[in-house]
Every structure is written in C-alpha cells, then in structure tokens.
Amino acid sequence: MEFESILLPGVEDKRPVIIAGPCSAETEEQVLKTAVELAGKGVKIYRAGVWKPRTKPGGFEGAGTPALKWLQQVRRETGMYVSTEVATEKHVYESLKYNMDMLWIGARTTANPFAVQEIADTLKGVDIPVLIKNPVNPDLELWIGAIERLYNAGLTKIGVIHRGFSTNDKSVYRNMPHWHIPIELKRRFPDLPIICDPSHIGGKRSMIKKISQQAMDLNYYGLIIESHCNPDEAWSDSAQQITPGTLADILNELVIRDKVQSTEDLSVLRGQIDELDNEILQLLSKRMRVSREIGLYKLEHDMPVLQTGRYDHIRKDRVEQAERMEMGGEFVLKILEAIHTESVRQQFEVMEKAKK
C-alpha cells in the first residue's frame, strides 16, 4: 500500500503535527472558546467529538449534527481545520455535508469490520484524510484490516492513531500502550503516519507530557491531545483533558530528536545489542538442553512434567529479582511464561522420543 500525505495545506510538515480540542463538543460557547485559545497557541487542526459512543446508555452521547455547525464556525473565526469522529454511514454523510476537513474512526468502530466497511463504502471517491484508531483489543491484524478496507475503497490519505489497548488489569495507564504493536505496524508500513493519543493512553492529565515524549522518541508523526477551556467541568473524560495553556507548555518542553544523526550515533550501541542478543540465544539454548535432561529424569522416575509449586516459586522469585534490576515485572513475567512453555514442550518431546 502506498499512502499520500495526510497533511492539510498550510500546516507545517514538522514533528509533531498537533491535533487538539475537547473530547466532546458540548456547547457552542465551549467549542468556540476552546478553539480561540488553541488557535492563539498555534494549533492548526481542531478536534471535537460530535457523536460519543458510551459504554452504557444515559450518559452524554454528544450534541450530534448541530455541533457540526459549531465546528464550521470555528473554521470561519479561527482559520483552523476541523475534524470529528465517525462511526456510521450517517455520520460520514453529515460530516461531509458540513465540510469537515479530517475524520477519524474510533477504537470501538475499528474493532467492527462491518462498521469499517460501511464507512469505507460511504467514503468512496472522497478526497479526505482519515485517521484510524487502534482497536480496543491488542490485535494488530484487525487494525491493519481497517486500513486495508479504506485503502481498497480508494482512500490513500490514511493515518493511524495509537490510543492504547483496553485491559482489566490494574495499571497506571487507562489503556495499555503496548508500544510494540504500533512499532510493528510502522515496520510493515514505513510511510504510514502514526499519531499518538496520550490522553486516552494515560487517562490522567499528569501523564500526557511523559507519554507525548515517549511518542516523539519513537519517531511518531504527531499527537492528538484532548484540550478543553475548563477541563474540570468537561461533560466527558474530564480527568484526561488539559487547558490550551498547559498544552502549549507541554509542547514547548518536548525534545524532538534528530533521527538521522541518532541513527548514525547508535551504530556502535546497536552492535552491542546484536552481540547481547546472540548471548541471550546461546543461554536459552543451554537452558533448553537442561530442560530436556530434566524431562528424561522425570520419565525415569515416573514424575509429572508440570511441577506447579516449583513454577510458582520461579515466577515470584524472578520477577522480584528483575524489578531490583530495574526491569518491569510484567515484561519479565511474559518472558518467563514463554520460556516455561517452551521448556515443557521440550520435555514432552524428549520423553516421547525416549519412549520409542
């Protein structure tokens, strides 16, 4: 797939491209006040949710089509481009009717191929940038599938939004970043612009700066950040919205690294990583050899392969050790689980061969 630029005329092609505005378009006054403040801080692309999917009925589900008129007024009064989220055929028609400059597809919608196809079919022949948020669950192929549906409909001005992935586990994040997923997406499609949504990943305004910097360090194209003239009084997601002034402060403090120079300077360090990776593989090979010996011992002594008490002890001990060594416990736990799974497989394999 070959993608055209999602950059709108007059927006400087300089990282990070910024899209900002409230989670929801609540009132005409709130939309315009926020827009004027953001325009004063140099923001060129304004975002506001017009239709808001809620987990349960009864909450504020957006002002709907009338809010599109407010966004039109934002464009007239500030000169900013305007964008909103679409989830249905009707949303697309209404957004095009009111001349939205950019659209995005939300995480819940991306997870539904029927809905994405409906949007793609409705957008056939339309020359408009469309951003696709990652699906709520960590499924890279589902994300790519949404991209392909729009591309197959003739759209080429496509970008993606990394907004994190839902989790039931307790975490400092509202949505787990799982950085490896967008990194793999970028590996497969190097020309695909990736925009980070630190508001939804963090869920708290205090985390926006840190996550934004991480996105820039990973060479993301831009940021989409929820900004409200009065965040504490916002009708939706108040905890993760920031004032235009705070947004400006965060952007001013971002460090944008020179990726070309960095790549050259990293050559020696990357050589060290290659050597270390080779050592890790050699150690894993040795560990599996010991696992096979353990399998033969268990066979000779009529012992079960799975020793749950031993495995539980290893998990607890190694995670504590890893955390003392400044590594994430969750990261190490995943490695241990993968090693244990392969160790069990190796034991079964050697035992089956010995029986023959």
284-300 residue pLDDT tens:
999 999 989 988 888 88
**Dist. CA 339–CA 325, nearest whole Å:** 19
Q: Is the pLDDT of residue 267 over 70?
A: no
Neighbours of 227 (CB within 10 A): 30
Cross-strand bridge partners of residue 131: 104, 159
Cross-strand bridge partners of residue 49: 24
Pick from 48-57, 218-227, 330-339: least confident:
48-57
**Dist. CA 198–CA 173, nearest whole Å:** 10
Q: What does the pLDDT read at residue 246?
A: 98
Higher pLDDT, 316 or 161: 161
On the CB side of 319, CA atoms within 13 Å amount to 13
**Dist. CA 126–CA 253, nearest whole Å:** 38
Q: What does the pLDDT read at residue 266?
A: 63
Which residues lie closer than 8 Å to 250 by C-beta, 6 or more apart? 208, 209, 212, 225, 242
User: Which pLDDT tens digit goes with each residue over 330-339?
Assistant: 888 888 889 8
Write the DSSP assignment of 221-290 as a string of letters. SEEEEEB-SSGGG-SS-GGG-B-HHHHHHHHHH-----HHHHHHHTHHHHHHHHHHHHHHHHHHHHHHHH
pLDDT band at 259 (very low <50, low <70, confident <90, very high): low
**Dist. CA 177–CA 8, nearest whole Å:** 27
pLDDT band at 111 (very low <50, low <70, confident <90, very high): very high
Write down all domains in the chain, each with its CATH number in brackets. Answer: 17-257 (3.20.20.70), 266-355 (1.20.59.10)
**Dist. CA 106–CA 86, nearest whole Å:** 7
In a 3-state reduction of DSSP, which class is residue 22? coil
Task: Calculate the alpha carbon distances from 313 to 121, 317, 331 in Å.
Answer: 54, 6, 17
- Residue 160's nearest CA partner among 106, 93, 84 is 106
Task: Calculate the alpha carbon distances from 342 to 287, 328, 334 in Å.
Answer: 10, 22, 13
In a 3-state reduction of DSSP, which class is residue 46? strand
pLDDT band at 260 (very low <50, low <70, confident <90, very high): very low
pTM score, whole prediction: 0.78
Tokens of 241: 């919205």
